[in-house]
Amino acid sequence: MATKTQKSAPKSRKPVEKVEEIRLSIHASFNNTIITASSFRTGRVLGWASSGGSGFKGTKKGTPYAAGIAMKNLLDKIAPYEPQLAHVFVSGAGNGRDAALRAIVGTGLKTVEIKDVTPLPHNGCRPKKARRV
């Protein structure tokens, strides 16, 4: 008869270190809104959320409401880190830009800066030739 091995007690997670300043990167496309929270000092990613990951499918992912829900989900996810200050970097031209910013206001998180980092070409690539029908 085989002997039973005793399972050790599950290891507990080490306590979460406090992060006072965070960087919120909002990427708002026409189809989805992706938000990432990282430590402002070290750049370590603390959590992320998206409209698609918040339960929205198809064209509903690009709506402002979905972006607001995604931001609330992210702020709930990073609450154990107890952030106080947020540096917000917004990229893209989607509908979720403003809604994601408005979702921060009611949480007690102070925004130090809001910066638009949408890439703009300085007359970069040559466009395709005009289509003749």
pLDDT at 11 over 90: no
Question: Other CB atoms closer than 10 Å to residue 41's CB: what's the count?
Answer: 11
Q: Tens digits of per-residue pLDDT, 80-104?
A: 999 999 999 999 999 999 999 999 9
Helix, strand, or coil here: 67?
helix
Question: Other CB atoms closer than 10 Å to residue 40's CB: what's the count?
Answer: 18
The pTM of the full predicted model, rounded to 2 decimals, is 0.81
Strand order across the beta sheet in which 45-50 lies: 45-50, 33-39, 21-28, 85-91, 110-116
Q: Tens digits of per-residue pLDDT, 27-45?
A: 999 999 999 999 999 999 9
Domains of the chain: 25-116 (3.30.420.80)
Give the CB-side neighbour count of residue 30, counting CA atoms within 13 A: 0
| Nearest of 90, 105, 78, 70 to residue 21 by alpha carbon | 78
